[in-house]
């Protein structure tokens, strides 16, 4: 292709994965920021460029950017582009902790429905943490 390509990689977006496509883009970008691959001040591709890269509609990426902007993870400068915010890393981590809490809550509810007592749930959690592969 003659089009210049930024080496830009976020996890694949798929209709078969959970959540809407725009939500998946939000999650993937948060992961890049929280794991430090995208540092504060780093420029993001234009949403039209990212749409082309991910093969999704422009509006899907636009909506993902808007949400990340609302959460303070990225910011836009008119005419310059979109960048990772200074507090982007912290905000992404906060969002991830909140998501982890929700998942744990769901896990504990399942365990409770299976008749496990709190002590047994702790054991289970400890067991999972030991399986390093899972992390």
Site residues (vs other proteins, CB under 8 A): 1-3, 15, 20-22, 48-49, 51-52, 55-60, 63
Q: How many CB atoms lie within 10 A of CB 126?
A: 9
DSSP secondary structure, 90-119, as one string: HHHHHHHHHHHHHHHHHHHHHHHHTT--HH
Return d(Cα 88, Cα 58) in angstroms, integer. 23
Q: Of 57 and 87, which has the nearer Cβ to other proteins? A: 57
Instruction: Give me the least distance between CB of 92 and other proteins, in Å please.
Output: 23
Instruction: Give me the least distance between CB of 16 and other proteins, in Å please.
Output: 11
Q: Of 20 and 87, which has the nearer Cβ to other proteins? A: 20
Q: Of 13 and 38, which has the nearer Cβ to other proteins? A: 13
Instruction: Give me the least distance between CB of 48 and other proteins, in Å please.
Output: 5
Tell whether the torsion through CA atoms of 116, 128, 31 and 36 is positive or negative: positive
């Amino acid at each position: 292709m003659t089009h210049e390509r930024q080496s830009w990689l976020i996890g694949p977006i798929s209709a078969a994965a959970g959540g809407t496509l725009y939500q998946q883009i939000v999650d993937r970008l948060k992961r890049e920021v929280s794991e430090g691959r995208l540092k504060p001040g780093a420029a993001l591709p234009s949403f039209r460029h990212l749409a082309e890269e991910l093969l999704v509609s422009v509006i899907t990426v636009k909506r993902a950017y808007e949400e990340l902007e609302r959460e303070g993870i990225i910011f836009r400068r008119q005419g310059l582009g979109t960048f990772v915010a200074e507090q982007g890393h912290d905000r992404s981590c906060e969002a991830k902790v909140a998501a982890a809490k929700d998942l744990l809550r769901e896990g504990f509810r399942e365990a409770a429905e299976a008749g496990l007592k709190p002590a047994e749930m702790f054991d289970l959690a400890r067991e999972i943490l030991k399986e390093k592969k899972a992390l």
